Amino acid sequence: MKIVIINYGAGNIQSIKFAIQRLGYDAILSNDPKEIESADKVIFPGVGEASSAMKKLKDSGLDALVPKLKQPVLGICLGMQLMCNHTEEGDTTGLGIFDVDVLRFDTTVKVPQIGWNQITSLTSPLFKGINEKEYIYLVHSYYAPLTKDTVAKTDYGIAYSTAFHKDNFYGTQFHPEKSSVVGEKILKNFLEL
Amino acid sequence: MLTKRIIPCLDIKNGRTVKGVNFVDLRDAGDPVELADIYSKAGADELVFLDISATEERRKTLANLVLRVAEKVNIPFTVGGGISSVEDVDILLQNGADKVSVNSSAVKNPQLINDLAAKFGSQCITVAIDAKQIEGEWIVHLVGGKVPTQLNLFDWAKEVEQRGAGEILFTSMDNDGTKDGFANRALARLSSELNIPIIASGGAGNSKHFVDTFVQGKADAALAASVFHFKEIEIQDLKKELQDKNIPVRL
């Protein structure tokens, strides 16, 4: 199986690569459209600030490619947020795969949210064998509200989306590569879709 | 529900784990990667690696250690100690660290916090603050607590938040190594005056101290070293006790 992690200069890609290795697979880091298109599974990571990450994606010419991919694609953290219509962070237009606008947490909660929270209402093959209320690791200041594509939700002041699934596109706000055995199982489910 | 985090801290010198009592009298407590793996399996929520080496090759040694930890460990970890530039942070994050912690370098050059937050995002920038009380006022100290500054803890903490820190790791030098509990009054004040997570550090001696720092100190996370390294507290037992006290934890 060919697994490509999109390497556009905005992500903790080393940790994702290592997590995939621990599952017994290998992943290629690439920003080459041919490599990405020919992959069986594509991971779209993202860490940092939205507008600068989006600029890097555009500079590498991959903003047009990602929404056209046909194989399973998993956006992680900021990667998931960039797959949405828009994010308040840096007033950034996203790829429009998930039909939702990303907002900043209000000040009734500490921002960023850092730590382990629970996922519920799990409705995707991504969560095969995962129990309701399992703990996953999150670190973020912006969130995606609930939509028809929400396949996992979490409460932090309000209920919001911690995972999306639409056609061949998946997204997790949490970091499966840092969410202990639960995260590894979710990553394995994606790789074995 | 977001849980309270339990964070073992591994002090690193020349690639090995050490822990100081009041930051002197170092004792060896094992291989960092092995310890990190044990802690992740034992239920630690996060790890902090604090490098106290002072050698020429320390940057390279630390970057290499980060890579080895990231390869093995499936929970988040923070790296701190001697980080003073955007380039330092870049290599550590690239090698798999989830967050970095800056301390003295932020006091000497506060703009560094803005620069790091702008380049990497607030969520991966922890500012560590060491402080102790001098004539009743909490004063920020440098160099592992040896050198006092002119800065008041609460003023500095607010400035750090405004400059874009995502989290504060507050170590009370008055409590560190005493095993008499965390500095809960100062922690509670930090937590109420700031809107970013606060990690309590310094003073853990028994599991009640953790209960107290989450309830009275309103801390979001608690960090300790020797009580975990020398197995005086098992993380699973600690978390069960916290859960019994209705404190949300990941079990």
Chain A residue numbers touching B167 (CB-CB < 8 A): 112, 114
**Joined tokens for residue A31:** 């920003």
ipTM confidence score: 0.94
> Across the interface, which of A14, A114, A156 has its CB nearest the CB of B166?
A114
> Across the interface, which of B74, B166, B250 has its CB nearest the CB of A183?
B74
Which residue on chain B is closest to A89 by alpha carbon? B121
Output the DSSP codes for B116-133.
HHHHH-GGGEEEEEEEEE
Element (H, E) at A137: strand A134-140
* Chain B interface disruption, residue of A5, A7, A13, A15, most B CBs within 10 A: A15
Q: Could you tell me where the beta strands, DSSP code E, fall in B192-250? A: 198-201, 221-224
The ranges assigned to domains in chain B are 5-245
* Chain A interface disruption, residue of B6, B123, B190, B193, most A CBs within 10 A: B123
- Residues of B designated catalytic: 11, 130
Determine the distance in angstroms separating the CA of B70 from the nearest CA of chain A, rounded to an integer.
Answer: 6
Pairing of strands A150-156, A142-143: unpaired
Which residue on chain B is closest to A184 by alpha carbon? B74
Least confident of A170-179, B10-19, B167-176: B10-19
Residue contact A111–B195, C-beta within 8 A: yes
Residue contact B197–A18, C-beta within 8 A: no
Residues 56-95 of A with CB under 8 A from B: none
Is pTM, for the whole model, over 0.90? yes
**What's the pLDDT band for B19 if we cut at 50, 70, 90?**
low
pLDDT digits (tens, 9 = 90+) for A4-57: 999 988 667 899 999 999 999 999 999 999 999 999 999 999 888 899 899 999
Fold of B5-245: TIM Barrel (3.20.20)
Q: Report the pLDDT value the prediction gives residue B24, as an integer from 0 to 100.
A: 39
Pairing of strands B221-224, B198-201: parallel
Chain A to chain B Cβ contacts (< 8 Å): 95
Q: How many domains does chain A have?
A: 1
A175 annotated active-site: yes
Which residue on chain B is closest to A153 by alpha carbon? B1
Kindly state whether A192 is in contact with chain B, defined as any CB-CB distance less than 8 angstroms: no
**Joined tokens for residue B8:** 């073992």
Neighbours of A2 (CB within 10 A): 14
Among the listed residues A134, A140, A165, A177, the single catalytic one is A177
Please give the distance of CA A180 from its chain centroid, rounded to a whole number.
Answer: 16
d(CA B59, CA B83): 9
Q: Is the pLDDT of residue B218 over 50?
A: yes
Q: Are A79 and A171 in contact (CB under 8 A)?
A: yes
Q: Which domain holds residue A132?
A: 3-191
d(CA A120, CA B63): 37
CATH of the domain at A27: 3.40.50.880
Determine the distance in angstroms separating the CA of B220 from the nearest CA of chain A, rounded to an integer.
Answer: 9
CA-wise closest residue to B224 among B29, B1, B55: B29
Q: Is the pLDDT of residue B3 over 80?
A: yes
Kindly state whether A139 is in contact with chain B, defined as any CB-CB distance less than 8 angstroms: yes
Q: Mean pLDDT in runs of 10 for chain A (193 residues)?
A: 91 89 96 96 91 92 96 97 96 97 96 97 97 97 97 98 98 97 98 97
* Chain B interface disruption, residue of A116, A131, A181, most B CBs within 10 A: A116
Q: Report the pLDDT value the prediction gives residue B61, as an integer from 0 to 100.
A: 86
A177 annotated active-site: yes
Q: Are A140 and A42 in contact (CB under 8 A)?
A: no
